[in-house]
Amino acid sequence: MSNKKRAIIIGAGIGGLASAIRLAIMGFEVEVFEKNSYVGGKLSQFALGNYLFDAGPSLFTQPENIKELFALAHEPIADYFTYTRQAISCKYFFDEGTVVNAYADIDKFAKELEDNLGEDGNNLKAYLQQAATTYDDIGTIFLNHSLHKRSTLFKAPISKALKAVKAAFLFKTLHQVNKASFKSLKTVQLFNRYATFNGSNPYKAPGMLSLIPHLDNNLGTFYPTGGMISITNALHKLAKKKKVKFYTECPVSKIIVEDNVAKGIVVNGHTNYADVIVSNMDVYFTYKKLLKDEVRAKRILKQERSSSAFIFYWGINQSFPQLELHNIFFAKDYKAEFDSLFRTKELYDDPTVYVNITSKCEPGLQAPVGKENWFVMVNAPANVGQNWKEYREKYRRAIIDKLNGALKTDIESLIEEEDVLTPETIESKTASYMGSLYGTSSNGRMAAFLRHPNFTNDISGLYFVGGSVHPGGGIPLCLQSAKIMSELVQEDFGVN
Going by pLDDT thresholds of 50, 70 and 90, the confidence category of residue 98 is very high
**pLDDT score of 416:** 98
Q: DSSP 3-state assignment of 54?
A: strand
8 A C-beta contact, residue 199 and residue 307:
yes
* Shared domain check, 236 and 209: no
User: What is the per-residue pLDDT across 356-405, written as a single tens digit (0 to 9) for each?
Assistant: 999 999 999 999 999 999 999 999 999 999 999 999 999 999 999 999 99
Lowest mean pLDDT among 307-321, 332-346, 409-423, 431-445: 431-445
Q: Which domain holds residue 483?
A: 6-45+226-304+446-493
Number of domain units in the chain: 2
* Shared domain check, 207 and 113: yes
Last residue of a domain, one of 191, 214, 237: 214
Going by pLDDT thresholds of 50, 70 and 90, the confidence category of residue 1 is very low
Last residue of a domain, one of 214, 238, 256: 214
In a domain, 66, yes or no: no
Residues near 62 by beta carbon (within 8 Å), at least 6 away in sequence: 215, 219, 476
Residues near 233 by beta carbon (within 8 Å), at least 6 away in sequence: 226
User: What is the per-residue pLDDT across 256-293, written as a single tens digit (0 to 9) for each?
Assistant: 999 999 999 999 999 999 999 999 999 999 999 999 99
Going by pLDDT thresholds of 50, 70 and 90, the confidence category of residue 136 is confident
In a domain, 310, yes or no: no
* Shared domain check, 260 and 170: no
Say how far apart CA 352 and CA 376 lie, in whole Å.
10
Last residue of a domain, one of 169, 192, 214: 214
In a domain, 400, yes or no: no
User: What is the value of pTM for the model shown?
Assistant: 0.93
Of the chain, the percentage scoring pLDDT greater than 70 comes to 92
Read off the pLDDT of each residue in 95-108 and give the average, rounded to a whole number: 96
The per-residue pLDDT of the chain, averaged, comes to 93
In a domain, 383, yes or no: no
Greater confidence (463 vs 2) lies with 463
Q: How many residues does the chain have?
A: 496
User: What is the per-residue pLDDT across 315-359, written as a single tens digit (0 to 9) for each?
Assistant: 999 999 999 999 999 999 999 999 999 999 999 999 999 999 999
Read off the pLDDT of each residue in 54-76 and give the average, rounded to a whole number: 96
In a domain, 339, yes or no: no
* Shared domain check, 204 and 119: yes
**pLDDT score of 431:** 83
* Shared domain check, 199 and 243: no
CATH number at residue 295: 3.50.50.60
Say how far apart CA 479 and CA 472 lie, in whole Å.
10
* Shared domain check, 117 and 196: yes
Read off the pLDDT of each residue in 73-91 and give the average, rounded to a whole number: 97
Going by pLDDT thresholds of 50, 70 and 90, the confidence category of residue 121 is very high
* Shared domain check, 163 and 121: yes
In a domain, 370, yes or no: no
* Shared domain check, 193 and 258: no
Residues near 121 by beta carbon (within 8 Å), at least 6 away in sequence: 107, 110, 111, 113, 114
In a domain, 100, yes or no: no
* Shared domain check, 206 and 126: yes
* Shared domain check, 113 and 188: yes
**pLDDT score of 444:** 79
In a domain, 161, yes or no: yes
* Shared domain check, 166 and 123: yes
Of the chain, the percentage scoring pLDDT greater than 90 comes to 83
User: What is the per-residue pLDDT across 217-226, written as a single tens digit (0 to 9) for each?
Assistant: 999 999 999 9
User: What is the per-residue pLDDT across 149-186, written as a single tens digit (0 to 9) for each?
Assistant: 666 555 555 455 445 555 556 679 999 999 999 999 99
